[in-house]
Structure 1
Amino acid sequence: MHCAPTTVDVYELNRIVVESATTFFWVYTRLQILLTNVDVPELVPILIILLLIATTVALVSRRLGIPYVTGLVLAGLPITELLSRRVGLDPYLVLNLFLPILIFEAGINTDVRRLRSTFKPIALLAGPGAILATAIIAVLLKFGLSLDWIPALFLGVILANTDTVSMIAVFKDIPVPARLSTIVEGETLFNDAAALVLFNLVVKVYSTGSLTFLEGIQEFLFVAVGGSLVGAVLGYLSIPIFARLNDPLSSLLLTVAVALGTSQAGQFLGVSGPVAVVVAGLIFGNLGLSRTNSAGDRITLLSFWEYAGFGVNTFIFLLIGIEINPVTLSKILPAVLIAVLAYQIGRLLTVYPLLAGVRWIDRAIPIRWQHLLFIGNIKGSLSMALALSLPTNLPGREYLITLVYGCVLVSLVGQGLSLPWLVKRLKLAKFSETRQQIEELQAQLITGKAAQDELDSLLKSGVLPKAVYEEMRSGYQVRIAAAEKILRDIYNRRSDTKGDRSKLDAVRRRLLLAEKGALGEAIRKQILSAEIGRSRLQDIDEQLLKLEDD
Structure 2
Amino acid sequence: MNVAQLVSVLVILLLVATGIALASQWLRIPYVSGLVLAGLAIAELLPDEIGLDDALILNVFLPILIFEAAINTDISRLRTTIKPVAILAGPGVMLSSGITAIVLKWGLGLHWTPALLLGVILAITDTVSVIAVFKEIPVPSKLTTIVEGESLFNDGVALVLFTLILKFHASGSITVVEGLQEFIVVIVGGTLVGLALGYLSIGLIVRSDEPLRNILLTGAVALGAFQIGHSLEVSGVVAIVVAGLIIGTVGLSSNISASTRLTLLSFWECASFGVNSLIFLLIGLEINLTTLWNTLPAVMLAIVAYQLGRLLCVYPLLALINRFDRPIPLRWQHVLFLGNIKGSLSMALALSIPSSIEAREEVIAIVFGAVLLSLVGQGISLPWLVKQLNLSKVSFPEQQIEDWQAQLITAKAAQDELDSLLKTGILPKSIFEEMRAAYQVRVAAAEKALREFYNRRNNDLKSEKQQQTKLESIRRRLLLAEKNALNEARRKGILSDMIVQVRLKTIDEQLLNLDDH
TM-score, length of structure 2 as denominator length: 0.93
Are the aligned partners of 1:494 and 1:501 in contact in 2 as well (CA < 8 Å)?
A: no
Shift of 1:67: 1.0
Q: Which amino acid aligns with 1:440?
A: D
Moved more, 421-430 or 131-140: 421-430
Are the aligned partners of 1:73 and 1:319 in contact in 2 as well (CA < 8 Å)?
A: yes
**Residue by residue, what CA displacement relative to the aligned partner does 1:109-161 show, whole Å, maximum 9, x if unpaired?**
11100101100000000000001111110001000111100000000000011
Distance 1:389 1:352, change over 3 A: same
2:143 matched residue in structure 1 = 180
Shift of 1:498: 3.1
Which sections of structure 2, spanning at least 5 residues, go unmatched?
488-495
1:306 aligns with 2:253: no
May I ask how many residue pairs the two structures share in their alignment?
508
1:446 aligns with 2:387: no
Aligned partner (choices 469, 488, 498) of residue 462 of structure 2: 498
SS in 1 for 2:122: helix
1:98 matched residue in structure 2 = 61
Shift of 1:394: 1.2
**Residue by residue, what CA displacement relative to the aligned partner does 1:262-317 show, whole Å, maximum 9, x if unpaired?**
11111111100000000000011000111534211111111111111111111111
1:289 matched residue in structure 2 = 252
Q: Which amino acid aligns with 2:403?
A: E
1:84 matched residue in structure 2 = 47
Q: Tell me, in whole angstroms, the C-alpha distance in 2 between the residues paired with 1:132 and 1:528.
A: 46
1:485 aligns with 2:448: yes
1:165 matched residue in structure 2 = 128
Shift of 1:254: 1.0
Moved more, 375-384 or 501-510: 501-510
Q: Tell me, in whole angstroms, the C-alpha distance in 1 between the residues paired with 2:325 and 2:457.
A: 25
2:475 matched residue in structure 1 = 511
1:455 aligns with 2:418: yes
Q: Tell me, in whole angstroms, the C-alpha distance in 2 between the residues paired with 1:510 and 1:80.
A: 51
Q: Tell me, in whole angstroms, the C-alpha distance in 1 between the residues paired with 2:60 and 2:169.
A: 26
Q: Tell me, in whole angstroms, the C-alpha distance in 2 between the residues paired with 1:227 and 1:40.
A: 36
Are the aligned partners of 2:457 and 2:463 in contact in 1 as well (CA < 8 Å)?
A: no
Q: Tell me, in whole angstroms, the C-alpha distance in 2 between the residues paired with 1:353 and 1:401.
A: 31
Q: Tell me, in whole angstroms, the C-alpha distance in 1 between the residues paired with 2:172 and 2:478.
A: 50
Distance 1:468 1:512, change over 3 A: closer
1:109 aligns with 2:109: no
2:515 matched residue in structure 1 = 544
Once the two structures are superposed, the pairs formed by residues 106-255 of structure 1 within 5 Å of their partners are 106-255=69-218
Q: Which amino acid aligns with 1:472?
A: M
**Residue by residue, what CA displacement relative to the aligned partner does 1:35-57 show, whole Å, maximum 9, x if unpaired?**
xxx12222222111101110111
Q: Tell me, in whole angstroms, the C-alpha distance in 1 between the residues paired with 2:411 and 2:508.
A: 35
2:229 matched residue in structure 1 = 266
Aligned partner (choices 356, 363, 376) of residue 326 of structure 2: 363
Aligned partner (choices 21, 31, 41) of residue 4 of structure 2: 41
Q: Tell me, in whole angstroms, the C-alpha distance in 1 between the residues paired with 2:502 and 2:208.
A: 43
Shift of 1:536: 8.4
Are the aligned partners of 2:127 and 2:147 in contact in 1 as well (CA < 8 Å)?
A: yes
Moved more, 253-262 or 124-133: 253-262
Distance 1:455 1:370, change over 3 A: same
1:410 matched residue in structure 2 = 373
Aligned partner (choices 52, 69, 77) of residue 15 of structure 2: 52
2:384 matched residue in structure 1 = 421
**Residue by residue, what CA displacement relative to the aligned partner does 1:456-510 show, whole Å, maximum 9, x if unpaired?**
3332333322111211121111111111111121122225353563244133134
Q: Tell me, in whole angstroms, the C-alpha distance in 2 between the residues paired with 1:487 and 1:160.
A: 45
Are the aligned partners of 1:193 and 1:272 in contact in 2 as well (CA < 8 Å)?
A: yes
Moved more, 292-301 or 64-73: 292-301
Q: Tell me, in whole angstroms, the C-alpha distance in 1 between the residues paired with 2:202 and 2:98.
A: 40
Distance 1:214 1:516, change over 3 A: farther
1:474 matched residue in structure 2 = 437
Give me the identity figure in percent: 59
Distance 1:538 1:138, change over 3 A: farther
Are the aligned partners of 1:80 and 1:86 in contact in 2 as well (CA < 8 Å)?
A: no
Q: Tell me, in whole angstroms, the C-alpha distance in 1 between the residues paired with 2:215 and 2:410.
A: 23
TM-score, length of structure 1 as denominator length: 0.88
Q: Tell me, in whole angstroms, the C-alpha distance in 2 between the residues paired with 1:412 and 1:489.
A: 48
Moved more, 502-511 or 138-147: 502-511
Distance 1:411 1:336, change over 3 A: same
Q: Which amino acid aligns with 1:193?
A: G
The alignment's C-alpha RMSD in Å is 2.4
Distance 1:438 1:378, change over 3 A: same
Q: Tell me, in whole angstroms, the C-alpha distance in 2 between the residues paired with 1:154 and 1:168.
A: 27
2:491 matched residue in structure 1 = none
1:71 matched residue in structure 2 = 34
Distance 1:191 1:243, change over 3 A: same
Distance 1:378 1:253, change over 3 A: same
